[in-house]
Amino acid sequence: MDRVSSFDEPLKKLLGGATAKVMAEHLDLHTVGDLLHHYPRRYEERGRLTALADLPLDEHVTVVAQVADARILMFNNGRGKRLEVTLTDGSGRLQLVFFGHGVHKPHKELLPGRQAMFAGKVSVFNRKMQLAHPTYQLLDASDADEATEAVDAFAGRLLPIYPACKQLDSWRIAKAVDAVLPSARDAVDPLPASLREGRGFTPLPEALLKVHRPQTRADIEDARARLKWDEAFVLQVALARRRYADTQLPAAARRPVGGGLLDAFDAKLPFTLTEGQEKVSKEIFDDLATEHPMHRLLQGEVGSGKTMVALRAMLTVVDAGGQAAMLAPTEVLAQQHHRSITEMMGELAEGGMLGGSEQGTKVVLLTGSMGMPARRQALLDLVTGEAGIVIGTHALIEDKVQFHDLGLVVVDEQHRFGVEQRDALRSKGRQPPHLLVMTATPIPRTVAMTVFGDLETSVLDQLPAGRSPIASHVVPAKDKPHFLARAWERVREEVENGHQAYVVCPRIGDEAEEDGKGAKKTKAKKAAPDEDLEKRPPLAVLEVADELRKGALAGLSVEVLHGRMHPDEKDDVMRRFAAGDVDVLVATTVIEVGVNVPNATAMVIMDADRFGVSQLHQLRGRVGRGSAPGLCLLVSEAHEASPARARLSAVAATLDGFELSRIDLEQRREGDVLGQAQSGVRSSLRMLTVIDDEEVIAAAREEAVAIVAADPELEHLPELRTVLAALLDKEREEYLDKG
């Protein structure tokens, strides 16, 4: 068998159809290689008992414990039988219960003093923790062959506890691993020998043996260090190769021109740029001046002035004879950007028009819902080059849209755009345009290195002068209804002081849902991070607005804004809110990004536990944008001790988005943090945790960059090429493209 194929061997051949089917369906394990990379979650030492005191409710657990007592109880007038077994481990006690015909075998085997491994789902009955009908494996000598085998297998050893599922216990997975472990000898080692020896790493086959069947704790540490490094390194090589390939593409250099649009714009700014804006602008200008496409990620806190930095980059490109396009994820946001950019530019945005500046250019808006005449004119302005700047939604990517000379693409809130759209826009230039990606979701450095690893990163972390602090508080609506009443009083007070407020709800709530068209309902429900908390549907914009008009905010001007309104209607509401004609805007998360109304000082987020940490932080950033302090009230019915409430308290405790993104990552773990499009990375990260292994990722990136610079095609590293090819199958290639 050659070195690669033993890892590609389907599990069915070695384990039989039934086991292989469960592994494929429930654990996403299909080949020998997949199973060898399914690492133990933790290890138990024989004779050292798991803490029964710390068992999590409603989760599948594996515990090692001793039988304290076992008794058969009759019920139903003697017709029914129940076996109750009490386990102990010194830290706590746990009850097992078996019913009906299932009591005979455990009754004979689970005798007081016996030690065994038990697996099952933790529930509560009569205020006691219990496992109903757990599967178990004896760990002490008895006549049963299986138990003897277990003793031999586990005597004096560390027991690997695998991520398991209801259909397949940890020890059955351990047996399957035993069957494939000999194939570990065939592992293709991706690390160049010099790197492996230089860092003193265990060879890969040995690391796989040690991680699955360690003799000592030191074996585990050795194996983990090696396997983490492999994951980080292979991924960073893939990203470094993408960055290298990008530097080989040709692009027109767009160098700043003195006395042009940018200088005229800077001269009329009513404030000075922050140090951060100056620094990031310089990084961008340096990139634009090179003859290969810029690929830069601009991360900035909500309100840190990213749009200003992006606009200055666009003006530089227009000065150099090119055009710039800004892509926004929604029409509301595209209109908002268009409005704020034309306001910032003033007569400079009216090139060729009466009263426009001689140095000016046209700034056009292009969205799917525009009327035909306006659309025709916008398309004409783009193809002739009359319009230097265009702002739009993905309507910009349609075939009909032609540019005179597209030089820069700015993408707002990257995670909402797929790879196809990015490539379609890229193909609109004579040569690949420069690319600037903006995100207001703060991303910890290591996640940026992993998820956006093919982009260079710039960070704006100071807020411009004049931004006000935001006070945030959790409002426990269920435990303390008077707190909610006070929240509405606070909104009234803000309005009486001449300010405005937002009320955010997770759902729209209209006849489309009542008609039994359930799609929207499930969509709204899916946003709930703690599903089981919520038995009622999430609060809806239309209902909440109605209640507020009749009750707590009667007499104030209350309007709604949501994604299913006609674009003109949305624009009209936003305009009136921005002009101060609307006191309170009840909205869905359409206001999450980019909406800028400095006079809005208060925000009440209903069912706040239905939103993620970074989403709450984004929403909160809509207030406190002027000189008056902001107030954000997080209304929740979640129980005080629940994870949902812990999340809300974390958001209330800090305004630092990077700190919150760390908390978010720790709570949610990598799987869902890396977003919807990250299946590739998730399936390649088994051992590495993006949040804890910052040093490993940074070091791996450094090595990867050096290796790719010296040998871009990896001609001298065939093993690394083989492993990369396995990582970069179609799905993962797409993930990396989404950068």
In this predicted model, what pLDDT tens digit does every residue of 555-589 receive, in sequence order? 999 999 988 888 788 888 988 998 999 999 999 88
User: What would the mean pLDDT of 145-154 be, rounded to a whole number?
Assistant: 53
Tell me the per-residue pLDDT of 160-169, one tens digit each, with 9 for 90 and over.
Answer: 888 888 788 8
Report d(CA 442, CA 462) in Å as an integer. Answer: 13
* pLDDT tops 50 at residue 436: yes
Return mean pLDDT, the chain: 80
Length of the chain: 739
Model pLDDT, residue 505:
92
Buried b / exposed e along 609-633 (16+ C-beta atoms within 10 A)? bbbbbbbbbbbbbbbbbbebebbbb
Tell me the per-residue pLDDT of 309-357, one tens digit each, with 9 for 90 and over.
Answer: 999 999 999 999 999 999 888 887 888 889 889 988 988 887 665 555 6
* pLDDT tops 90 at residue 282: yes
* Number of helices and strands in the chain (H, E): 29, 21
Model pLDDT, residue 157:
65
Model pLDDT, residue 465:
66
* pLDDT tops 70 at residue 419: no
The pLDDT-based confidence of 487 (bands split at 50, 70, 90) is very high
* pLDDT tops 50 at residue 476: yes
User: What would the mean pLDDT of 617-646 be, rounded to a whole number?
Assistant: 85
Determine phi and psi for 502, rounding to 5 degrees: -110, 145
Rounded to 10 degrees, the C-alpha dihedral 260/265/266/272 comes to -170
Report d(CA 298, CA 519) in Å as an integer. Answer: 35
The pLDDT-based confidence of 451 (bands split at 50, 70, 90) is low
* pLDDT tops 70 at residue 35: yes
Report d(CA 661, CA 691) in Å as an integer. Answer: 10
The pLDDT-based confidence of 425 (bands split at 50, 70, 90) is low
Secondary structure element (H or E) that encloses residue 160, with its range: strand 158-161
Between the CA of residue 655 and those of 302, 442, 469, 471, what are the distances in Å? 10, 11, 9, 9
Residue with the bigger pLDDT between 74 and 659: it is: 74
The pLDDT-based confidence of 679 (bands split at 50, 70, 90) is very low
Report d(CA 109, CA 188) in Å as an integer. Answer: 45
Secondary structure element (H or E) that encloses residue 459, with its range: strand 456-460
* pLDDT tops 60 at residue 614: yes
689 class by beta-carbon count within 10 Å (0-12 exposed, 13-18 middle, 19+ buried)? middle
Report helix, strand and coil shares of the chain as percent, to nearest 5.
Answer: 45, 20, 35
Give the range among 148-157, 394-403, 621-630, 692-701 with minimum mean pLDDT: 148-157
Tell me the per-residue pLDDT of 223-233, one tens digit each, with 9 for 90 and over.
Answer: 999 999 988 89
Residue with the bigger pLDDT between 624 and 255: it is: 255
Buried b / exposed e along 36-75 (16+ C-beta atoms within 10 A)? bbbbbeeebebeebbebeebeeeebbbbbbbbeebeeeee
In percent, how much of the chain has pLDDT > 70?
A: 81
* pLDDT tops 70 at residue 512: no
In percent, how much of the chain has pLDDT > 90?
A: 26
3-state secondary structure string across 107-158? HHHCCCCCEEEEEEEEEEECCEEEEECCEEEECCCCCCHHHHHHHHHHCCCE
Helix axes 217-248, 718-727, angle to 10 degrees: 90
Pairing of strands 362-366, 470-476: unpaired
Model pLDDT, residue 662:
72
User: What would the mean pLDDT of 16-24 be, rounded to a whole number?
Assistant: 87
Model pLDDT, residue 140:
61
With CA atoms as reference, report the closest residue to 529 among 640, 635, 617, 613: 613
Model pLDDT, residue 708:
93
* pLDDT tops 70 at residue 64: yes
Buried b / exposed e along 421-454 (16+ C-beta atoms within 10 A)? ebebbbebbebbbbbbbbbbbbbbebbbbbbbbb
Pairing of strands 158-161, 42-45: antiparallel
Give the range among 237-241, 448-452, 463-467, 671-675 with minimum mean pLDDT: 671-675
